[in-house]
Amino acid sequence: MPNLTRNELLSKGNALPKFIETELGKEKLCIECQEYWPLDHEFWFTYRNKPNKKGERTIGYEAACKCCYGIRYRPQKQKGTGQIKSYFERGGEF
């Protein structure tokens, strides 16, 4: 793929690549914020993949970065969603 900017990729209707190579090394696209972050344990949660044909397990990285993980996969745990509302906020009438 030629070196195109992010805006050029989006304007042509192409999807952004999942991985890019930069001066920081390999970076991965977050599916929630649509930003690229370095592919390491600081920015991504990891999991162990299923064994391949050789029987080796590799490290897999989640699709959403650590910052967006809760928003994407645990929306019920967001701040403010479980707060007790007053009678008026629940729609009560005087």
Q: What is the pLDDT of residues 33-78, one digit of tens each?
A: 999 999 999 999 999 988 889 999 988 899 999 999 988 888 776 6
Q: What is the pLDDT of residues 13-28, one digit of tens each?
A: 678 899 999 998 999 9
Q: Write out the H or E segment, with its range, that includes residue 48.
A: strand 46-48
Question: 39, 52 in Cβ contact below 8 A?
Answer: no
Q: What's the burial of 15, exposed, middle or buried (CB within 10 Å: 0-12/13-18/19+)?
A: exposed
Average pLDDT of every residue of the chain = 81
User: The pTM is what?
Assistant: 0.63
